[in-house]
């Protein structure tokens, strides 16, 4: 019984001794292009994937929440709406309490729920199991109490919860794509005004995610450093964010900036342009163009933003040797390890998998996990 929905129903009965009323699910995601652009008011192009978190719930008449997850067997988390207390460091319930705390701050008043969670989004692999959890839960709370929040509003509350309660300074991308994803489409998000547009993905392409399993050290400090360098560069030109900086202005002021700030800004400016162009390339089925843009994005992350590792560069190199211009490949996510994303002609999928299996472990001593995905719908209620 590998279906998360069936397993969540079973877990609910085992935990609470009664059947659940409703079933909701929300997907994990992969970012196709547009890295470290979200907090610079730029563009990102993620897709929701066919790995998801299922939540089954039963309505309560009071303000109490009780939650169980099969990822942490035997623990039942309980809290009262508006009385979430202080977060316990690294505890999974922070993602749920963060959402209800954000609702309370916004003056929203849901009823309580009993909840069972089961997911097949791998945790901590960079596919955003945290957003899948928050958005599935938010969708359930919203629907059961008939609060009528839009998917975007649910994503914003989820982000606020993760920022303020979990203590992770993430952007809005993960929550937005989990809430708003569409089957067979990516979503071009303008992080300046949160406008978004579904972009058709050619059905000739397979979506492959490869987890390098590189241990991600120094991620938080390096991430914060990159944010500061971007802010410094924008400030130098008297701008709110790098969104408004042109390449020409940056080049003209190059000698006034540190080399690091200059290179970070160059990545963000060029990545914004590549992300918009990649959306057009996808929409118009121009795979050779997409291939080039994803390669340039990877090189920019390697040389200008300096967030790749030798193992990740190697993965990208061996996949790109197989696919040529019949697909694109690049690192995806915050960097210093994590995943590589490839969009490749279906005919080449087996060759890509075989190459990784033959070469990656030999060269690096690490085993990669390969996920064959498809672009999927965002969070929704499912008939239970």
Positions touching ligand ADP (CB under 6 A) are 53, 69, 71-72, 92, 95, 117, 119, 123-130, 133
Looking at the Cβ atoms of 88 and 361, the one nearer to ligand ADP is: 88
Contact between 130 and Mg ion (CB under 5 A)?
yes
Residue in this structure with the two tokens 């397993």, named with its chain if needed: 7
Looking at the Cβ atoms of 11 and 125, the one nearer to Mg ion is: 125
SS (H, E, C) 34-103: CCCCHHHCCEEEEEEEEEEEEEEEEECCCCEEEEEECCCCCCCEEEECCECCCCCCCCCCHHHHHHHHHH
For the bound state, the minimum distance from the C-beta of residue 130 to ligand ADP, rounded and expressed in Å, comes to: 3
Choose from Mg ion, ligand ADP, none: what does 53 bind? Cβ within 5-8 Å by kind. ligand ADP
Residue 380: burial class (beta carbons within 10 Å; 0-12, 13-18, 19+): middle
For the bound state, the minimum distance from the C-beta of residue 321 to Mg ion, rounded and expressed in Å, comes to: 31
Looking at the Cβ atoms of 129 and 291, the one nearer to ligand ADP is: 129
Q: Which residues are catalytic?
A: 174
Looking at the Cβ atoms of 132 and 198, the one nearer to Mg ion is: 132
For the bound state, the minimum distance from the C-beta of residue 38 to Mg ion, rounded and expressed in Å, comes to: 13
Choose from Mg ion, ligand ADP, none: what does 79 bind? Cβ within 5-8 Å by kind. none
The helix/strand/coil state of 141 is helix
Q: CB under 5 A: which stretch of 51-59, 123-131, 332-340, 351-359 binds Mg ion?
A: 123-131
For the bound state, the minimum distance from the C-beta of residue 244 to ligand ADP, rounded and expressed in Å, comes to: 30
Q: How many CB atoms lie within 10 A of CB 124?
A: 10
Choose from ligand ADP, Mg ion, none: what does 133 bind? Cβ within 5-8 Å by kind. ligand ADP
Looking at the Cβ atoms of 82 and 124, the one nearer to ligand ADP is: 124
Give the integer Cα–Cα distance in Å for 52 and 23.
12
What angle, 0 to 180 degrees and rounded to 10, lies between the N-to-C axes of helices 94-105 and 151-161? 110
CB 91 within 8 A of CB 166: no
For the bound state, the minimum distance from the C-beta of residue 170 to ligand ADP, rounded and expressed in Å, comes to: 8
Write down the number of H helices and E strands in the chain: 11, 12
Q: CB under 5 A: which stretch of 125-133, 289-297, 310-318, 375-383 binds Mg ion?
A: 125-133
Give the integer Cα–Cα distance in Å for 206 and 186.
13
Beta-carbon contacts of 240 under 8 Å, excluding residues fewer than 6 positions away, are 41, 234
Contact between 364 and Mg ion (CB under 5 A)?
no
């Amino acid at each position: 019984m590998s279906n998360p929905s069936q397993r969540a129903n079973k877990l609910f009965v085992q935990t609470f001794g009664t059947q659940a009323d409703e079933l909701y699910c929300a997907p994990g995601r992969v970012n196709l292009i547009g890295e470290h652009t979200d907090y610079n008011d730029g563009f990102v192009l993620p897709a929701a994937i066919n790995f998801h978190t299922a939540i089954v719930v039963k309505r309560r008449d009071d303000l109490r929440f009780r939650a169980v997850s099969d990822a942490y067997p035997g623990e039942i988390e309980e809290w009262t709406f508006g009385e979430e207390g202080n977060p316990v460091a690294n505890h999974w319930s922070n993602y749920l309490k963060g959402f209800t705390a954000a609702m309370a701050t916004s003056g929203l008043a849901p009823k309580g729920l009993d909840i069972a969670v089961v997911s097949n989004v791998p945790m901590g692999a960079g596919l955003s199991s945290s957003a899948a959890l928050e958005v599935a839960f938010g969708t359930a709370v919203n629907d059961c109490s008939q609060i009528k929040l839009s998917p975007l509003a649910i994503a914003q509350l989820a982000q606020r919860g993760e920022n303020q309660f979990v203590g992770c300074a993430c952007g809005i991308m993960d929550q937005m794509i989990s809430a708003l994803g569409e089957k067979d489409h990516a979503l071009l998000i303008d992080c300046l005004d949160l406008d978004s547009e579904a972009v058709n993905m050619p059905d000739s392409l397979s979506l492959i995610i490869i987890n390098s399993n590189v241990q991600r050290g120094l991620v938080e400090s390096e991430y914060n450093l990159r944010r500061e360098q971007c802010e410094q560069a924008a400030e130098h030109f008297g701008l709110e964010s790098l969104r408004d900086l042109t390449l020409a202005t940056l080049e003209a002021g190059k000698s006034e900036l540190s080399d690091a700030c200059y290179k970070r800004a160059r990545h963000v400016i060029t990545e914004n342009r590549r992300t918009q162009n990649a959306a057009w390339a996808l929409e118009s089925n121009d795979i050779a163009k997409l291939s080039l843009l994803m390669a340039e994005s990877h090189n920019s992350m390697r040389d200008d933003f300096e967030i790749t590792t030798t193992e990740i560069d190697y993965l990208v190199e061996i996949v790109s040797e197989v696919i040529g211009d019949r697909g694109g490949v690049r690192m995806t996510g915050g960097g210093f390890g994590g995943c590589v994303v490839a969009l490749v002609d279906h005919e080449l999928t087996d060759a890509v998998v075989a190459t990784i299996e033959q070469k990656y472990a030999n060269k690096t001593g690490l085993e990669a996990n390969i996920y064959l995905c498809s672009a999927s719908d965002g969070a929704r209620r499912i008939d239970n």
